[in-house]
Amino acid sequence: MELWQVPLSFSRLRMFPFFDLAHYVASVLALKEQRGVVEVSVRSPLACWFSAMLYCFGGSVLSSLMLGEPPVAFLAKTINILLASSVWYLVFYCPEDIFCRCFSFLPLRLLVAGMKEVTRTWKITDGIAHADIVYKDAWLVMVAVGWARGAGGGLISNFEQLVRGVWKPETNELLQMSYPVKATLIGAVLFSLQRRQYLPIARHNLMFLYTIFLVVFKWLLSVPPPEILEDVEDGGQYWNVLPVLLLSLGNHLELRIKGTHLFCHAWREISVTL
C-alpha cells in the first residue's frame, strides 16, 4: 500500500464491532467515575442502565430529536444495545471490579480512548451526511446535527443527570464547554465546509488528519505532566491547561506562548523558553 492510500483505506474502516465496543467501554467507565453513580447502580440498576445508554447513544438520541425523527430509533440496533449493556454490567457488577481494574492499566486505557475518538469522526460525518439528505445544502443544519451526533453524550448531560436524580444546571455544556464538545464543534464545521466544497481537501484526507488530531490530543490530555496536576483545580477544563501542556511537552524546542482568553481566564501571560 502506498502512503497516499493510507487515508483512503482509513476512511473505509468499519466501526463495528471493535471501535464501537471501545466507545462503549470508554463511555461507561466515564459514567462510573461520576460522583454518586455507584450508589445509583445499587439502588436503581434501571436508572443506571438508562444513564449508560445515554452516554453510549446520546448522539443518536439528540440528532434524531433535532431532525424530527424517533429518539428511540437507536433501540432498534439490538446487537449494539446488547453489546453496550454487557459492557455496563461488567463495569458496574463484575466481581472484585476486575473489569475496571483491567482498564485502569494506562496503555489499555489510552488504546480505548483513542479508538473512541476514531468513532467520533465517523459520528460527525454520518450526522452531516444524514442532515444533508433531510435538509439539502443547509450547512448550518449540517453543523448542528454533526455536532449533536459527535458530542451528544456531553450536550445532553443535564438530562442524563436528571435520570440519576441529580440537577446541576451549572454544568450545562453550552455554558462551559468541555474539550470533546469544542473539538467536535470544530470538526462539524470543517466537515460541513468540506461537504459544501468550501474546503479544498478530499473527505478521506480530512477524516484522517482530524482523527489524528483528536487521538493525539486525547492521549496528551489523558497523561498530563505532574507539574500541571499540581496547578489544575478542575481536571475537566482541558483547554485551560493546554498552553502549559504544550510548553511541558516541547522539550528541546523554543516556544513562546501567551495565555489568551480562548484557552484560559486565569492564566497569566506565559513566556517560557525550553
User: Is 80 part of a structural domain of the chain?
Assistant: yes
**Whether residue 238 sits in one domain with residue 170:** no
pLDDT of residue 247: 52
Instruction: Provide the pLDDT confidence category of residue 264 given band limits of 50, 70 and 90.
Output: very low
**Whether residue 107 sits in one domain with residue 39:** yes
**Whether residue 263 sits in one domain with residue 133:** no
**Whether residue 172 sits in one domain with residue 242:** no
pLDDT of 121 over the 50 cut: yes
pLDDT tens readout for residues 193-212: 999 999 999 999 999 999 99
**Whether residue 154 sits in one domain with residue 260:** no
pLDDT tens readout for residues 12-34: 999 999 999 999 999 999 999 99
pLDDT of residue 137: 85
Give the global pTM. 0.82
Whole-number average pLDDT of the chain? 86
CA 45/CA 42 separation, integer angstroms:
6
pLDDT of residue 4: 84
**Whether residue 31 sits in one domain with residue 135:** yes
**Whether residue 230 sits in one domain with residue 216:** no
Considering 223, 238, 263, which residue would you say is the last residue of a domain? 223
pLDDT of residue 223: 74
Domain span including residue 90: 14-223
User: Is 5 part of a structural domain of the chain?
Assistant: no
